[in-house]
Structure 1
Amino acid sequence: MIRTATLAAIALLLQGAASAQMSHHYVSEAACDTAELRCATKVTPAFAPDGTLWLAWMAGGRISVASSRDRGKTFSTPVAIVDQPLALDWGPDARPKMVVDRHNRIAIAFSIFRDKNFNGEVLHTRSVDGGHSFAKPVPITPNTESQRFEQLALDADGSIFVAWLDKRNRAQARADNRSYNGAGLFFAWSKDGGGTYSEARMVKDNTCECCRISVAFAGLGRPAVLFRNIFPGSVRDHAIVTFRDPATPGEIYRVSHDDWKTEACPHQGPSLAISPGGTYHAVWFTGGGIRKGLFYARSTDGGQTFSEPTAVGRPDRNASRPYVVASASGTAIVWKEFDGEKTTVKLMTSRDDGRTWSQPKVIAATTDASDHPLLVSHGRETFLSWMTKADGYRIVPIGDAP
């Protein structure tokens, strides 16, 4: 069932994407297996504090990095962080993760497959010379069980928080002749710009093992992690945890009661943002018995309770892959829809911290394969970042979208 779910999710991923209103693009070709940006399947953006746009992408079995000082019109010569192709994790929710600190150190984490059973390993590297070179990637943890779905987040003091899904407790369960479901949510910190990470510690065991997680900060040293949990009865609904301090995870709270009972892998993780005013904004996909499709909810009490979920997008058009950001200028959500021929990216915005939302509007479209739509902010500007096979990579301020 897991492999079937994986293939189904990949089929959804390959349905398409992009609009001609966006700035510059790097076109992909039908047969494309080099490490160039035009061949990328997954592209991750990040703004440095000085406003430089950095991209990390997967192509040709490599992770490559380049930067732009003109909002994506031109890019520097790409640098591959490894010389030889790797067995990169190609799952629908997998992509390289990247943060850039005020010292222009670039930290990257990504996962590879160890074997044909989708057991993974999270590797990390960094650049201390402005992206001209990278250290040899090394494991995020010495444990040899499976790790996947890593997420990096840069705290206000320059510390890097990393969380991932880890199956190290599976080995002990097998040794004790016990069943083991899902994976454990683990975390670590780096105080040197991603050069080294602290010893891994667990937040919670038996979470869903095959969906991206999302991280935002509720305060200095207080990351919040939104993840798909496994509740009693094999219900895979979402939960959230906010750290009390860097070493201490807080209570785990349920985000919604969707009642998605499944033994398979959804391969659709959530997205979380916390506004300057402290409101939590969560978006997710569910196939539950109570509700199906994309939903949004907000919390004004630190994630302890959430509002009644609000439907996002059109279920009859396979609405999927939601992403949310919150900045001083407002909150924005993007997602994908597919009408049988064309994939569109839709946008909703809120100027009152999620109390009310604009009507959805199409801001990009394609009839070919596409990556997930992402949002990235710098200052008061928020940008849509999207990679498509037909039109390549594009980035545009959402205020300029049609």
Structure 2
Amino acid sequence: MIRSIVGAGLAVAFAAALQSPAEAQMSHQHASEAACEGTELRCATKVTPFFAADGTLWLTWMAGGLVSVANSQDAGRTFSQPVPVTTQKLNLDWGPDARPAVVVDRKGGIAVAFATFRDQAFNGEVLYTRSDDGGKTFAPVKPITANTESQRFQALALDEDGTLFAAWLDKRNRVPAKEAGKAYDGAGLFFASSRDGGASYTEAKLAQDNTCECCRLGLAFAGPGRPVVVFRNIFDGGVRDHAIVTFNDLATPGEVYRVSEDDWQIKACPHHGPSLAVSPTGAYHVAWYTNGKTRKGLFYAHSRDGGHTFSAPIPIGQAERNPTRPYVLSTKAVATLAWKEFDGETTTVMVMQSRDDGDTWSKPSAVASTKDASDHPLLVADGEHIYLSWMTKADGYRFQLIGDQS
């Protein structure tokens, strides 16, 4: 077995904390600072957790050019021997907001999706695979779409009936625009679904064109067959603020609504996407970063009308400590927000919680820190507890209890 705190890893986004906020979000250089060149967890660049219905914790990570998985039966104290998802080393998408995605259905099937770089121009390809034997072996990877233009920043979510929904950013529409002599900004938000546990996906469809091309997506379900995606959009005048779309069903996107008018007008890639959670009451919780004219920093807002309107944004964290990388999770009776702050020497993960669906929040508290590089802080819950998942270079992978769901 492998201990859950296992030496040093990588954090692609930490270099951003050493720059000004604007410079940090626009950087697109390879910021790899892995402490080792192997494929084991301690060499990981990005780590993504998922709790299966039976309580097993699954991790997928990028290290040494491979995507691997392992599981824990004791809430992250120990992990099984890792299993490679890919059979050969790949040029995995190392962008600050890129990471492999994993979901596990009630039958124990494990679906994984990740992106690679096709070339030096950061054109990507989203690949997927599935394991039907409890993670012992994985099927050969396949592209999620036959289109050969760039796809990146894939997200996966599992519907209550076992259907998988995938969303990603796709630049296929720039080709016909160029052929027609028209300008094309950003990318398109594309999606597909799978009713066989991730063994195959439906034909890709467009949900929204001219989105920002370089930020992670927030994905959740508002109800059976109704995915919700929050993303950084490109509004009139080149303003890159956040938008949200709730699907009428798995094949039909609804209207796109604006989350907040931050007025961030920029002709560059922020590399800092939003986070989304939907509470049992149906409230949408969204957290994001902006460097706009109206507001700067991290913010949170909620919607109680299916994303049509949002509450007034509230700031997250201490502005002088460059708060970054927010993540929101909603469980039975509590919403939890996590983010990073940097004081010039130490990166600290801060957490605050709300027990009234986002109307009021507890005082932020520090739950973890490191003196070196670190990945984004992520939150995950089993049936009873909420945990922080955080990869750090100096201290290895951390999986620690934050609190309970009641």
- Indicate conservation of the 8 Å contact 1:13/1:92, yes or no: no
User: What are the Cα deviations for residues 117-171 of structure 1, in whole angstroms up to 9, with x where unaligned?
Assistant: 0000000001000000001111000000000010000000000000000001011
- Indicate conservation of the 8 Å contact 1:13/1:370, yes or no: no
State the TM-score, normalizing by the size of structure 2: 0.92
Name the counterpart of 2:259: 255
Within-5 A mapping of 1:106-255:
106-255=110-259
For 2:251 and 2:50, the matched residues in 1 are separated by 26
Find 1:326's aligned residue among 320, 330, 336.
330
For 2:325 and 2:122, the matched residues in 1 are separated by 22
One-letter code aligned to 1:82? T
- Report the secondary structure of 1:168's partner residue: coil
- Report the secondary structure of 1:233's partner residue: helix
For 2:86 and 2:244, the matched residues in 1 are separated by 35
- Indicate conservation of the 8 Å contact 1:9/1:267, yes or no: no
For 1:305 and 1:200, the matched residues in 2 are separated by 28
Q: Which runs of 4+ in 1 moved over 4 A?
A: none
Name the counterpart of 1:351: 355
One-letter code aligned to 1:147? Q
User: What are the Cα deviations for residues 251-306 of structure 1, in whole angstroms up to 9, with x where unaligned?
Assistant: 10000000000001000000000000011100000000000000000100010000
- Indicate conservation of the 8 Å contact 1:164/1:187, yes or no: yes
User: What are the Cα deviations for residues 46-94 of structure 1, in whole angstroms up to 9, with x where unaligned?
Assistant: 0010000000000001000000000111111100112221000000000
For 1:30 and 1:67, the matched residues in 2 are separated by 22
For 1:44 and 1:351, the matched residues in 2 are separated by 26
For 1:76 and 1:170, the matched residues in 2 are separated by 44
TM-fit CA distance, 1:9:
5.5
Within-5 A mapping of 1:260-279:
260-279=264-283
For 2:84 and 2:18, the matched residues in 1 are separated by 25
For 1:178 and 1:355, the matched residues in 2 are separated by 45
User: What are the Cα deviations for residues 194-213 of structure 1, in whole angstroms up to 9, with x where unaligned?
Assistant: 00000000001000000000
Larger RCO (CA within 8 A; separation ≥ 6): 1
Say whether residues 1:61 and 2:52 are aligned partners.
no
Name the counterpart of 1:285: 289
Structure 2 residue ranges without an equivalent (≥5): 1-11, 20-32
Find 2:78's aligned residue among 58, 74, 77.
74
Name the counterpart of 1:372: 376
- Report the secondary structure of 2:79's partner residue: coil
Within-5 A mapping of 1:3-14:
11-12=15-16
Structure 1 residue ranges without an equivalent (≥5): 1-7, 16-28
For 1:30 and 1:223, the matched residues in 2 are separated by 35
User: CA separation of 1:172/1:68 partners in 2, compared to 1, >3 Å: closer, same or farther?
Assistant: same
User: CA separation of 1:9/1:132 partners in 2, compared to 1, >3 Å: closer, same or farther?
Assistant: closer
- Indicate conservation of the 8 Å contact 1:253/1:304, yes or no: yes
Name the counterpart of 1:385: 389
Name the counterpart of 1:21: none
User: CA separation of 1:246/1:115 partners in 2, compared to 1, >3 Å: closer, same or farther?
Assistant: same
Name the counterpart of 1:342: 346
One-letter code aligned to 2:15? A
For 2:81 and 2:315, the matched residues in 1 are separated by 42
Name the counterpart of 2:8: none
Within-5 A mapping of 1:24-43:
31-43=35-47
TM-fit CA distance, 1:30:
6.8
Say whether residues 1:308 and 2:345 are aligned partners.
no
TM-fit CA distance, 1:188:
0.3
User: CA separation of 1:31/1:335 partners in 2, compared to 1, >3 Å: closer, same or farther?
Assistant: closer
State the TM-score, normalizing by the size of structure 1: 0.93
- Report the secondary structure of 1:218's partner residue: strand
TM-fit CA distance, 1:10:
5.8
Please tell me the root mean square deviation across aligned C-alpha atoms, in Å.
1.4
One-letter code aligned to 1:132? K
TM-fit CA distance, 1:31:
3.9
TM-fit CA distance, 1:14:
8.0
